[in-house]
Structure formats: structure tokens, C-alpha cells
Amino acid sequence: MTDGIPHHRRIFLKQVATAVGAVPLALGASVVAGGAAAAETGTAAAAATAGASGQAPVPVVTAWLFFDGNEGRAAEAAVARLIPADDTGPGAKEAGVAVFIDRQLAGAWGSGDHLYRHAPFLAGTPQQGYQLAFTPAEMFRLGFAKLDEAARKAHAGAFADLTPEQQDALLGEAEHGKLDFGALPSAAFFGALLDATMEGFFSDPIYGGNRDKIGWKLVGFPGVHASYANDIERHGVAWTRPPASIADADNGG
Amino acid sequence: MKHAIAAAALGLFAALAALAQSPDFARKPPAWQVALEASKEVAAGEAIATKGKGAALACAGCHGAKGVPAAGAPFPRLAGLPVEYFAKQLFDYRDGIRANAIMGPIGKALADAEIASLAWYYASLEVSAPRATASADQPQRGWQLARYGDNALALPACVDCHGGDVTGGGPVLPGLAQPAAYTAAQLSAFRDGERKNDGDGIMQAIAKRLSDADVKALADYYAER
Amino acid sequence: MSKIMPAVDVVLVGGGWTGSVIGKELAATGQRVVVLERGQPRWTSPDFQAPGVRDELKYTRRNELHQNAATETYTFRNRVDETALPMRRWQFAYPANHLGGAGVHWSGAYYRWDPVEFRLRSHYTQRYGARIFEDGITAQDWPLTYDELEPFYDRFDRLVGASGFAGNLKGVIQPGGNPFEPWRSRPYPNPPMRVPHAPALFGEAAAKLGYHPYIQPSALSTRPYVNSEGLHMNECVYCGFCSNFGCEQFAKASPQVCILPVALKLPTFELRTNAHVLRVELDKDRKSARGVTYVDAAGVETFQPAQIVTLCAFAINNTRLLLLSGIGRPYDPATGDGVVGRNYTHQTSSGVSLFFDESVKINPFMAAGAVAVTMDDFCSDNFDHGPLGFVGGGYIQIQVVSGAPIGNRPTPPGTPGWGSAWKKAVKRYYNHSIPITITGSALPVRGGYLSLDPTYRDAWGQPLLRITYDFPDNDIKLSAFLTEKGTEIGHAMRGVTLAQGNPRTKPYGATGYQSSHINGGAAMGSDPATSVVNRYGQCWDVPNVFVTGAALFPQNSCYNPTGTIGALAYWTADAIKRDYLKAPGKLIAS
């Protein structure tokens, strides 16, 4: 017990590290300050971030596993518009949602491990659901490239370099299928991006998004605190305990 | 049974009209909740905790000056307990729902508002769990029960409900970091039916499936947290 | 050339509720039993313990416990003149792929079916005339009655530790319970669930309008309980990670919690996991099964000889196994001939979105799969269908199932789906919104059926099951009626600022989740011309093959299926023990 960690806890921490999957931080890592990132998007958001943690922002290392640098920038810019930092608090970018999406695309989900992939791929009725040949990884790769292409065509800049208003307009066109992404309907890409953004904003922080439980704090979800037998019949009583994540619980609360 | 079915089918509407009832699905808030909402005077709580009040001895005498008992003492840590759990226990002592020769009379000497003040006071204290120096006999068993439970005994992990070792899992679910003697005594009391203030008996049923060695393993485990 | 295993008396395909119940019952009489489960073994401890299990992304969004659509899915079309296409990912239902089956990740909603459901065609015809059924509806009576099944419901109640307040004990209506409940010989073994705020408000409003709200029964134990197998269940703690999750508490009934530990101690009971059954093998005369062929955990094609084959896979996957094995005549919608695949049904669900003022705190995360206040005033034939012109009904309720926010983040109609306006709305309404849910019955139609897909195949090269279905007008009328009633209740609830009903409309689709209650294709009946199996689940054409589960349902009730599936499993096990084993290979006389 020389490191001050009880033996059984050390075993547990090791298991957790294995389960979550060690992230190789050396992979073309760039260091950004979480606080600085928030400050870019407005003082209200920065204040909300600082206020939430009550301490100086901790530098965050972004290691892209799937995205190249351009895709990563586009992803961060896009999720920042889908869930912006504003007077309700920090948004998806501050919550690490682009990091979440990157890790998901690099993993089994990105390669379609639960997606039926057999041909023929035919156009169906809306009731028949998703019938494209793309895995999530293929779709996001093409989608971000096409989004940048559309940005350059409309405004002579990469998507990440446009103004928020220009970005919103392009995202809105994608949402309604008005951008030409070739074989990929832009509405399908937008839908997948929005889904992944919500997942990243609201899933457990162990996946890289919902950093500092920003998403859970926004709505008041308590996370993994979850035994309400004593509380469920106390109607109308607000739940005021701070949210807890899987990682917090592993660390003894 | 056929006649009953026929009656239910044909005379249903008449039968139902006669059954006019106004089910009330709401429950009254527990008395401790009402008390906590009515009174939040930390200073009054501190005065009772340190000086006592009539038949209610000063809490600090057993539970330590800042709610952390002396090392080796069999008394629970009070610092940082959720107000709801703290208040419910004192109400239960007072009402005899949780039987204890020392705490029963203390509870009876306290008014609702005084219990609430004590709860708010102790919740305001910085949490510092007592740390045992004695090493556990069965660290692996204690860890297993606390973190994963035991499938063959149908025991869920302690942390499922009790959450963080110090912060706990909810308003009435305290963190379990407590002196070993206290934890062992409570598990034994639940097991032997001496402590019954656990709702529908959830802890009594769990404790009945713990061996003496399991109780010790858990007590040691949580003494180290 | 397959590897050949030593012969056994009984092989069961699937280690869910029915495989576990029938397997244990037969093994206990000395029959040598093998259960082949295609999924992995997972146990309450350590697999479902917190905090790891409280992971919405893993279990709900990434389908941890669901059948993997990449390896096996369904194809779907609305009509025979369309080309069916595969459901490439699950949005439609959540078939299971693990030990315990959907009996692990289910919600625990626990019902008996109304006596009328078992005599649907004759009851409605008698009361309203034959024309109440629109053309092309193929609904039919069951070959057994509620009264016959009651002792088996009672038995399953004690296995799962059912929680509720009896509304009808031996025909006597009990104040405080559901007055529409079918009669029960005994009370529930455990008291009803606790009632959260929103269901209480629903109950208050429904009672004010003259309805009969009650606390929905569940298969979540509400107190420490020792079940009929001597196994411990703990008390539900309302953790809110229930539907799609394994229960950490040994509180939600599952085969792992309620029966498998006892079965596995029997020397005659063997469980093999990661064993994927491809088909039932028949004798040359095709009137008797020899056993089943499966792919074992190492990928080796294996033949398991057996005297009795029991299909205990998920719901309509049993229908697919019949089709893949050539058991029974496939249904032809053009002629109406054949039976296997006939009478597919799902559910007719709808909802009413409710938004509250900020004084009403819903706390949606204090939840369980089956914690609700419900009313059955419009279920079954509890109301006069004469002027309405449709058959069936539905229950109306508020249930609090989950507050996990990837899936649960309601915003009022008209709110944008993203941006600051969305963010403000989700913050404002997360704790102040919950829907009224309406679960309606579903009638089978002549053009709705299950068959093998001619094009798409699973990972083992076998044809996928093809679903061809659209709602009958009957069910759309039903949904409009029920949703209007639900909306009225919503408007009568305290604190509601907006109530918007969303009735079910055509077309039926594969992209929206209604329930995982997908039924039929192996209807139970008394006439081999309109059913696949007899009243004991025994195949008319191959008498040593038994079928279990929701594939047997000739049509769907509004009530959740598991109670009836469990009762039928005991019913079948009893018939095998009592009658079949005395005259193996023969149809059991009715």
C-alpha cells in the first residue's frame, strides 16, 4: 500500500482502465485548454464552465483516433452549433462531443458491428428505414468532407472557419436534404450527426463526451445514483444531489 | 367460477358504478421531511451537538467533536451524512422504530425542529471518513460483496444503492464508510431482526444471507474507505 | 458432416422463459434435457452490477442485450407487391440475444389476458354480430379458455414474484384493485409497486372522470421474496435502468433469477450457451423430428438427437425455425391456404404528450420498467363497441420507465431539433414532461404474414424472416378512439399546460418502436386448417415438436404477453408430463 491506494481498490482501477479501453494519448495529440475553448464561444459559457467546477479549467488533451485534423475541426464546429454554448451553459463542444463521436467511429460501432450489411442495397419506402450501404465511419468521413466542400462553395472557407450564422444555415440545408453530398443524402448525414451529438452530450463521461457531466447538469439527470425506493413516493421533491458518473462511482463517490 | 365470469361480463357497468371509489395515489410526506423543510438552523444544531439538551447528551461525546468518532470507537461517523438519513434515524429512534438503549432516550428528548437542526449541522461538516489501520482478513471477499455482490446468494452489490463510500447513494442511503464495529453491529442487528427500520425489510433480507465471515469482511472493507 | 452429440430426451431451442420453465419441469421428472441458447451466459452478479450496468449508451443505444441485427434481422414490407428490405438496425423491436432472452431486458409489465381474448371471434360475434369484424380480419378463438389457464397463471405468478393488488378474487371485485381484472384464485404474492408523482396525478384525473385507475402489476418484486423454486428475489429500488437492462437487484424476474439456478443443479439438465440452432431435422416421412442442428461456440456444426424438440426462441423467431425446417404448410396470402406465418400481429400503441408547469416535478429517473397507474376501462370488451364499429381495446396509463436523457428529452411540439432554442426547451421540460401511453390490441389481417425472404440471408446463410403487414382500419379506429380518451384525461390533470394526442396512423413501419411484442405465425388452434399447433403447442404435422411463446398468439391483446407466455409454458410442460410421455409421438387428445 505504498502508493496510498488500498490493494483492492488498485485492482478495481486496473479493471476499469481495461474495460474503458486505454486511449493512446500520444496519437497526434494536441493540447487545448478547456477553459480557453469555452471562452471562444462567449463569456457566459466560460463563466458557466468555471462556475460549474468552481476551479480553474483543467487542460484537456484531444487525441483523434478516427478523424484527421480537418474532420476533427469540422466536427467540433458542427456540434458547437447543434448544442451551442449559451446562457443556459456550455455546449456540445465543451462537453467533448466531438471526442465522443471520434471514439465511436474508431470503434466497433463505427464499422457497423450491429448494422445488417448484406446487399442488395435498394431504395425503400420510408417505413423500411435505413437502407444505405455506409457504415457510420464511412458516412461521417464522406459527410464531413462534403460539408467542407459545401462550405467552400458557398463561402470560400472550411466549415469550421465560417461564422456561426453561416454554419447554422448550412446545417439547416443539410437537415432538409438540400445539400448535394453525392451518394449520401445530406439529410441522412445530418440525422446521424445529430443523433451522435445527443449521444455524446448525454452518455456517461467514460465515453469521452458529457465532460464534467455538462449534459446531465443541463437537464438535472442524476446519472448513476440510482436507488429511489425511498424517494419515489415523496412527490414533487427536487433531486438536488450532484450527478455521478460511472467513473465517479468507481472512485468511491 | 363460471357464474362469476358471467356476472363480471354482463353486470359490469352496474357493478362498477357501485364501486365508485376515489383512489388516492399520493402519499403524505414523512414527518422527517416536513421537519427538515421547516427548520434549517445549523447553529442551533451545533449547540445541541456540542452541549447537549436536557436528557439528550451532547452528540460529540460519542461521535467526536466534528462528527468523526475516535479511532476504534464503535460509534458511527455523523459528519457528512445526508440530512434526510440523519433526520429519519433520529425520528425512528424517537418513535421506537429503530431500537437502541442509548439513542432512544436521546431521540425522545428532541423536538422535530431540533432533530432537523442537528441534521443540517452534521450535513454541513466536512466529510472525513475514519480510516482503520487494521488490515482486513478477507479483503477480496469484502471488495467482492461491496462492488459485485454474490450471484449464488442473490446479493446485489452494496454500491448499487449506497453509491459512493462517503457520499452515499441518495438522501436515505448513506455512504457506508464507517468504523468496522459499527458496520458489523448494524449488519448483525438487521440479520437478527433487532433493526427493522429498512422499509420493506430490504436490509434484513440481505443480512440474513451473510455469514459471520461476510459481515466481518464487509465491516473491514468499509472501515478502510 | 455434423458433429453428433449423445442423444437426449428433450432439446429446447432457447434459454429464455419458456425454455427454462419447460426444461426445468421435464428435467425434474428425470427426462434428460439440453437447452441450446444462442447468446452468451450473463448473470446478475457480476454482469449486471452498478455502476457499470447504468449505461444508456451501451445497453439501449448500442443494443448490448439485443439480437445483433448484423447477423440476423427481419425484412419488412407493407404489402405483397413491394420488395421487402432488411431492418438494418433495430428501431422496431428488441429481440434478445443472451441467456434468459428478452426475459432479462424486459420491463416486467405483468398481465393476465382477459377471458374475452381467448374467445375473441365468438364473443364479439355473439355480442355485436359478425359484421363487427371488417373484411379480411383473420382473428380467431384460442383452443383453450381463461379458466383452464388460470392455475398456470397462478403458478407463474409465484415463480416471478408478481406484484400487484388483486382486483377480482374468485369473482369477487376487490375495492382498491382493477375491477376489470380477470378473476384470480389467489392474491398477488407481493404488494403493488410504489407510485411516482406523474402516475398519481394521472390516477387522480382518471378517477375524477369516472374511470377506474389502479397500480399496474409487475414482475418486479416489491419486497424480499422467496419464489416457488426457493430462490431469493430482492426489492425493486426504482433505479430507472430497467427496460433494456439486466436488473442488478435480483428484483426483476428473469430466468437467471427465478429458475435457472435450480435447473442447473439437476443432473438431467444441461445448458449450452453460444449454441445457434439452424433447423429442426425431420425423419424421411417428415412426421417426426430427429433433433436439431446447431452451430456450437467453436463454430462447429453439431447435431443434437432428441425425442422431443421444443422451440423456445424469441416470439416470431420460432415461426422462422418452423419455416426453415419445413414443419407445417407455409401460409399463402393469395389463397388463404397454409398456416405457418399466418396471423402476424404487433401492437397498436399511441401516446399523449404532456407538458407541465414548473411546479410539477416529474423526476423521470425515479423509474422502473413497470411502474404505472393504469386504467382498463377501454380494454378488451369492457366498453360498448356497438356504436364504435371496431374490435379490441387498450390500456391507458402514465408509466415512469426511464429518465436516461439520450432517449428521454421531451420538448413541446414546434421546438427546433437543435440549437439554443432546443437547448432552452430541453432544460425547461426535462423534469416537467411525461407522456400518457396507450397500449392497444392488434388484429391479424389476411395480407399480413411471416415468410422466408427470397433474397436476404443471415450470417449463417439462411433466409431471413420476412414480415408483410399493414394495420387494419379496425386498429386505426381503435387508436383514434383511445388517444382521444387519453387526451381528455391529460387535459384534466393538475399542472398540465399542454396535452397533445398522437394517435397511430398508417402505414405500419419498421422505423418506430411500439413494443417488442411481435406475435403469431404459429397460431394455436383447434383446427389444423387455421392453426399450426394444437392447444398444447404441439405441431399438428410433427407431433414431437412443441412450440412456445408469442408465436402461438392468434392475435394480440392490449395486455403485455409475458404472463400468458409463462402460463402457457407451464401448461405445455404439464401436458407433456401427463399425456405425451405416456404415448410419445402421438397428438395429445384435447
pLDDT of B166 over the 90 cut: no
Q: Does A126 touch chain C (CB under 8 A)?
A: yes
pLDDT tens-digit readout, C196-243: 999 999 999 999 999 999 999 999 999 999 999 999 999 999 999 999
CA distance B91 to B109: 11
Interchain pair C170, B209: CB under 8 A: no
* pLDDT at residue B14 is higher than 80: no
| Under 8 Å between Cβ of B223 and B175 | no
Residue tagged 423543510 (cell numbers): B37
B54 touches chain C (CB under 8 A): no
- Percentage above 90 pLDDT, chain A: 71
Q: Measured between alpha carbons, how far is C159 from C219 in angstroms, rounded to an integer?
A: 9
Quote the Cα angle for A48-A51-A57, to 5°: 90
Which among A108, A37, A32, A94 has a CA at the least distance from the CA of A66? Answer: A108
pLDDT at A233 over 90: yes
Q: Mean pLDDT throughout A38-58?
A: 43
In CATH terms, are B31-124 and B140-223 the same topology?
A: yes
A127-181 per-position pLDDT tens digit: 999 999 999 999 999 999 999 999 999 999 999 999 999 999 999 999 999 999 9
What confidence category does residue B129 fall into, taking pLDDT thresholds of 50, 70 and 90? low
Strands C348-356 and C463-468, bridge-based pairing: unpaired
pLDDT at A43: 36
Q: Give the pLDDT score at A162.
A: 98
Set C197, C346, C385, C517: catalytic member: C517
CB atoms closer than 10 angstroms to residue B128: 15
Per-residue confidence (pLDDT) for residue B103, from 0 to 100: 96
- C 466-485 near A (Cβ less than 8 A): none
B170, three cell numbers: 441518495
Is B15–C224 a contact, with Cβ atoms under 8 angstroms apart? no
Q: What digits encode the pLDDT tens for the residues B50-104?
A: 999 988 889 999 999 999 998 888 999 999 999 999 999 999 999 999 999 999 9
Task: Choose between A28 and B163: higher pLDDT.
Answer: B163
For the stretch C108-117, pLDDT in tens is: 999 999 999 9
CATH of domain B140-223: 1.10.760.10
pLDDT value at position C590?
78
| B24/C214 CB distance under 8 A | no
Q: What is the value of pTM for the model shown?
A: 0.92
How many other C-beta atoms lie within 10 A of the C-beta of residue C544? 23
Query: Does the structure show a pLDDT above 60 at A17?
Result: no
- Asked if the C-beta of A237 comes within 8 angstroms of chain B's C-beta atoms, the answer is yes
What does DSSP assign to residue A157? S
B7 contacts C171? CB cut-off 8 A:
yes
pLDDT of residue A39: 33
Vertex A143 angle, CA A140 and A149, to 5°: 145
Which pLDDT does position A62 carry in this prediction?
72
Copy the grid coordinates of residue C114.
382477459
Q: Give C424's contacts in chain A (Cβ within 8 Å).
A: 88
Instruction: Please state the φ and ψ torsions of residue A30, each to the nearest 5 degrees.
Output: -120, 145
- Beta strands C301-311 and C8-13 are parallel
Q: What is the ipTM of this complex?
A: 0.96
C: neighbours with 3+ CB pairs under 8 Å? Answer: A, B
- Answer whether C232 sits within 8 Å of B154, measured CB to CB: yes
Question: pLDDT category, A249, cuts 50, 70, 90?
Answer: low
Distance CA A108, CA A104 (A): 7
Mutate: best of B24, B140, B145, B151, partner C, most C CBs <10 A: B151
Three-class SS state of C475: helix
What is the pLDDT at residue B21?
Answer: 47
* Local confidence band at B126 (pLDDT 50, 70, 90 cut-offs): confident
State the nearest Cα–Cα gap between B51 and chain C, in angstroms.
39
Q: Which of A8-17, A56-65, C80-89 has the lowest mean pLDDT?
A: A8-17
Q: What is the pLDDT of residue C88?
A: 98
* Residue carrying the nine cell digits 431486458: C105
Q: Are C88 and A115 within 8 A, CB to CB?
A: yes
Chains within contact range of chain B (3+ C-beta pairs < 8 Å): A, C
Does position B20 have pLDDT exceeding 70, yes or no?
no
Domains of chain B, residue spans:
31-124, 140-223
Give the pLDDT of residue B72.
Answer: 85
Classify domain B31-124 at the CATH superfamily level: Cytochrome c-like domain (1.10.760.10)
Does residue A56 register a pLDDT over 70? no
Residues 455-474 of C with CB under 8 A from B: none
Q: Confirm or reject contact between B131 and chain C (CB < 8 A).
A: no
Listed as ranges, residues in chain C with pLDDT below 70 are 1
pLDDT of residue B225: 76
Confidence of residue B224 (pLDDT cuts 50, 70, 90): confident
- Determine contact: B16 vs chain C, CB below 8 A: yes
Q: Which residues of B touch C224 (CB under 8 A)?
A: 200-202, 204-206
Measured CA to CA, the distance from residue C518 to residue C108 in angstroms comes to 16
Tell me, yes or no, if C203 comes closer than 8 A to chain B by beta carbon: yes
Q: What pLDDT is stored for residue A252 in this prediction?
A: 52
How many contiguous H segments (helices) and E segments (strands) does chain B have? 13, 0
Whole-number pLDDT of residue B9: 43
C234 contacts chain B (CB < 8 A): yes
Under an 8 A CB cutoff, do A223 and C54 touch? yes
Crossing angle between the packed helical segments A69-82 and A97-106, to the nearest 10 degrees: 130
C234 closest CB neighbour out of B1, B26, B154: B154
Chain A: residue whose CA lies nearest to C506: A127
Please report which confidence band the pLDDT of residue B138 belongs to, taking 50, 70 and 90 as the band edges.
confident
- In this prediction, residue C143 carries a pLDDT of 98
CB proximity under 8 Å: C 131-160 to B: 146-147, 150
Q: Find the helix or strand (DSSP H, E) in which A145 lies.
A: helix A136-155
Residue C197 designated active-site = no
Question: Residue C406 is nearest to which of A84, A202, A237, comparing CB atoms?
Answer: A202
Going by C-alpha positions, the residue among C254, C270, C264 that lies closest to residue C11 is C270
